[in-house]
C-alpha cells in the first residue's frame, strides 16, 4: 500500500544539511519506497540485493562507486559494510549536501561503519511501519506527540472493536487492509525471511525452532517488564543466549526498551526496562492471537493496547526526525506511570489504559511524581470518545487524538 509518509519532508530537510543520509528500520516498513518517492527519480537507484552488484561493491568498492554519477541511492547497504570508507572519500571531494542516500534493515554493521567512517557527515533517520496518521492519509499533520491542555483531533475516532482490528492487523505497508489469510501469509513469510536474511548473517543459530520460540515468548510479553531469566527458562536457553537474541531484535528495530526513571542516573542503567514490540500486528501473530476479537477480549488486551500507544508515540518522533527521551515510573508505594516524555527539563506523564470510562484515580500517580520532578501537562490515553479533563494538569484523550 503506497501512502504519503510523514518522514518524507524530514528526509528532504535532512538531505539539505548532511552529505549522506541513512534511513534504517525493520524490514518491509517502506524505506525503499519512501526514498525512491522522495528522490523523484533524480538519483540513480542501486540495490545490493542484486548479487552481481553486491559482488562488485564488495570486491572493488572504489571502482563500484566510480560507475555512478551523483546523486545516488544505495539500498540494503548493510550487505557491504566495507564500502563506508570509500563513501567518505567520495563525499569529501565536494561540499554538496545530500549526494548519497543509504538505506538498510540491519543496524549492526551499519552503525559500526557509520561510527568509524562517516561521523559528522551522515544524518541518520529511523523508520517504522505506517502511523495512524499515515493510514488515514494525514501524514503532513503528524507532529511529535506531547500532552497539552487543548488537543484538536484530526483523526477519525474509532470504536474499541475497530481500534483492536488496527492493533491486530499491524502497520507494515504490505499488511494494512489485507484480509486474514493474506495477513497470515505475510507474517509467515516475514519471520522466515527475517531469520534467513538477517539473523543468520549475524549469529549462527543452531536451533531455529528455539529462536522462533524465543520470538513468540518475547512477543507474548510485550508491554511488560523485561525478565530475561524467565524468558530463557520458557525457551530452554541460557540467559546469556536470551540476552544476545534480544539484542538482535533491538538492533533490527523490532523491539524497543523503555528504561525506568530514577533520580540517580546510574540506577536507571541497571534497573529493569519494559519491553515493547514496535509492530503490534507482528507481536500478535507471534503470540498466537488469531483474530482481533480474541485479542480484544484476551488477557493481553491491555498490554497490546499499551504497546500500540507507545509505538505510535515513538513513530510521531521518528517521523519528524527526533529520538524521544522516554521513561516509565514505579515507586515503592505502588505509584506507576506508563510513560514519561522528558523535554526541556520537564517530564510529561502519560498513563495508558484500555478503558472507556476514565477517572482521576487512573492518574493519581502523577501527583506522586510531581514531588520529584517538574511536571508538564499529562494525559490518560484510553478508549474514551471525547477529551475529558481529569485534573488541572491532566486530561483523558482517545488513542485517535495523539
What domains are there in the chain, each with its CATH number?
A: 7-126 (3.40.50.300), 132-401 (no CATH)
Residue 204 has pLDDT above 90, yes or no: no
Residue 374 has pLDDT above 80, yes or no: yes
Per-residue model confidence (pLDDT) at position 319? 97
pLDDT bucket at 113, cuts 50 / 70 / 90: low
Q: b or e along 85-120 (b: 16 or more beta carbons within 10 Å of the residue's beta carbon)?
A: ebbbebbeeeeebbbbbbbbbbbbbbbebbeebbee
Global pTM? 0.94
To 5 degrees, how large is the angle CA 285–CA 144–CA 41? 80
Residue 245 has pLDDT above 70, yes or no: yes
- More confident: 28 or 264: 28
pLDDT bucket at 35, cuts 50 / 70 / 90: very high
Residue 382 has pLDDT above 50, yes or no: yes
Residue 46 has pLDDT above 80, yes or no: yes
Residue 203 has pLDDT above 90, yes or no: no
pLDDT bucket at 219, cuts 50 / 70 / 90: very high
**212 CB neighbour count, 10 Å cutoff:** 16
Q: 15-29, 143-157, 259-273, 384-398 — which is least confidently predicted?
A: 259-273
Per-residue model confidence (pLDDT) at position 131? 98
Q: Which of 315, 358, 364 is nearest to 7 (CA)?
A: 315
Residue 82 has pLDDT above 70, yes or no: yes
SS (H, E, C) the chain: CCCCCCHHHHHHHHHHHCCEEEEECCCCCCHHHHHHHHHCCCCEEEECCCHHHHHHHHHCHHHHHHCCCCCEEEECHHHCHHHHHHHHHHHHCCCCCCCEEEEECCCHHHHHHHHHHHCCCEEEEECCCCCHHHHCCCHHHCCCCCCCCCCCCCCCCCCHHHHHHHHHHCCCCCCCCCCHHHHHHHHHHHHHHHHHHHHHHCCCCCCHHHHHHHHHHHHHCCCEECCHHHHHHHHCCCHHHHHHHHHHHHHCCCEEEEEECCCCHHHHHHCCCEEEECCHHHHHHHHCCCCHHHHHHCCCHHHHHHHHHHHHHHHHHHCCCCCCCEEEEECCCCCEEEEEEEECCEEEEEEECCCCCCCHHHHCHHHHHHCCCCECCEEEEECCCCCEEEECCEEEEEHHHC
Q: What mean pLDDT is predicted for residues 59-64?
A: 94
Q: Which of 250, 223, 377, 386 is nearest to 309 (CA)?
A: 223
Residue 342 has pLDDT above 90, yes or no: yes
Per-residue model confidence (pLDDT) at position 269? 47
Per-residue model confidence (pLDDT) at position 97? 95
pLDDT bucket at 265, cuts 50 / 70 / 90: low
pLDDT bucket at 110, cuts 50 / 70 / 90: low
Q: Are 161 and 296 in contact (CB under 8 A)?
A: yes
pLDDT bucket at 251, cuts 50 / 70 / 90: confident
Residue 116 has pLDDT above 70, yes or no: no
- In whole angstroms, give the CA distance from residue 78 to residue 305: 33
Per-residue model confidence (pLDDT) at position 111? 60
List of residues 6+ apart from 283 with CB closer than 8 A: 219, 222, 277, 304, 307
Per-residue model confidence (pLDDT) at position 267? 55
- More confident: 240 or 266: 240
Q: What mean pLDDT is predicted for residues 63-72?
A: 94
Per-residue model confidence (pLDDT) at position 338? 98
pLDDT digits (tens, 9 = 90+) for 282-332: 999 999 999 999 999 999 999 999 999 999 999 999 999 999 999 999 988
Amino acid at each position: 500500500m503506497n501512502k504519503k509518509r510523514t518522514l518524507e519532508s524530514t528526509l528532504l530537510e535532512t538531505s539539505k544539511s548532511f552529505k549522506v543520509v541513512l534511513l534504517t528500520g525493520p524490514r518491509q516498513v517502506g524505506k525503499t519506497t519512501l526514498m525512491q518517492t522522495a528522490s523523484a527519480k533524480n538519483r540513480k537507484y542501486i540495490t545490493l540485493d542484486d548479487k552481481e552488484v553486491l559482488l562488485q561493491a564488495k570486491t572493488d568498492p572504489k571502482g563500484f562507486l566510480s560507475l555512478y554519477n551523483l546523486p545516488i541511492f544505495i539500498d540494503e547497504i548493510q550487505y557491504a559494510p566495507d564500502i563506508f570508507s570509500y563513501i567518505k572519500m567520495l563525499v569529501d571531494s565536494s561540499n554538496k549536501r545530500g549526494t548519497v542516500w543509504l538505506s538498510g534493515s540491519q543496524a549492526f554493521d551499519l552503525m559500526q561503519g557509520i561510527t568509524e567512517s562517516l561521523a559528522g557527515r551522515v544524518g541518520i533517520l529511523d523508520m517504522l511501519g505506517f502511523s495512524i496518521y499515515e493510514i488515514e492519509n494525514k501524514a503532513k499533520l503528524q507532529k511529535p506527540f506531547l500532552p497539552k491542555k487543548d488537543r484538536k483531533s484530526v483523526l477519525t475516532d474509532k470504536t474499541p472493536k475497530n481500534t483492536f482490528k488496527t492493533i491486530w492487523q499491524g502497520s507494515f505497508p504490505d499488511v494494512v487492509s489485507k484480509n486474514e489469510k493474506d495477513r497470515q501469509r505475510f507474517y509467515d513469510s516475514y519471520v522466515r525471511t527475517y531469520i534467513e536474511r538477517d539473523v543468520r548473517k549475524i549469529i549462527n543459530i543452531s536451533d531455529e525452532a528455539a529462536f522462533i520460540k524465543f520470538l513468540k515468548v518475547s512477543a507474548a510479553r510485550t508491554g511488560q517488564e523485561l525478565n530475561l531469566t524467565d524468558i530463557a527458562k520458557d525457551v530452554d536457553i541460557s540467559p546469556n543466549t536470551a540476552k544476545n537474541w534480544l539484542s538482535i531484535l533491538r538492533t533490527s528495530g523490532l523491539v524497543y526498551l523503555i528504561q525506568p526513571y530514577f533520580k540517580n542516573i546510574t540506577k536507571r542503567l541497571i534497573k529493569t526496562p519494559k519491553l515493547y514490540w514496535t509492530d503490534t500486528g507482528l507481536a500478535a501473530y507471534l503470540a498466537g492471537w488469531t483474530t482481533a476479537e480474541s485479542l480484544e477480549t484476551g488477557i493481553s488486551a491491555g498490554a497490546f493496547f499499551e504497546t500500540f500507544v507507545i509505538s505510535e508515540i515513538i513513530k510521531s518522533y521518528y517521523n519528524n526526525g527526533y529520538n524521544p527521551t522516554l521513561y516509565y515510573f514505579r515507586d515503592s508505594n505502588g505509584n506507576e506511570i506508563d510513560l514519561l516524555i522528558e523535554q526541556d527539563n520537564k517530564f510529561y506523564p502519560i498513563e495508558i489504559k484500555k478503558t472507556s470510562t476514565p477517572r482521576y484515580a487512573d492518574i493519581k500517580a502523577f501527583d506522586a511524581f510531581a514531588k520529584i520532578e517538574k511536571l508538564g501537562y499529562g494525559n490518560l490515553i484510553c478508549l474514551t470518545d471525547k477529551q475529558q479533563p481529569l485534573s488541572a494538569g491532566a486530561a483523558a484523550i482517545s488513542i485517535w487524538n495523539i
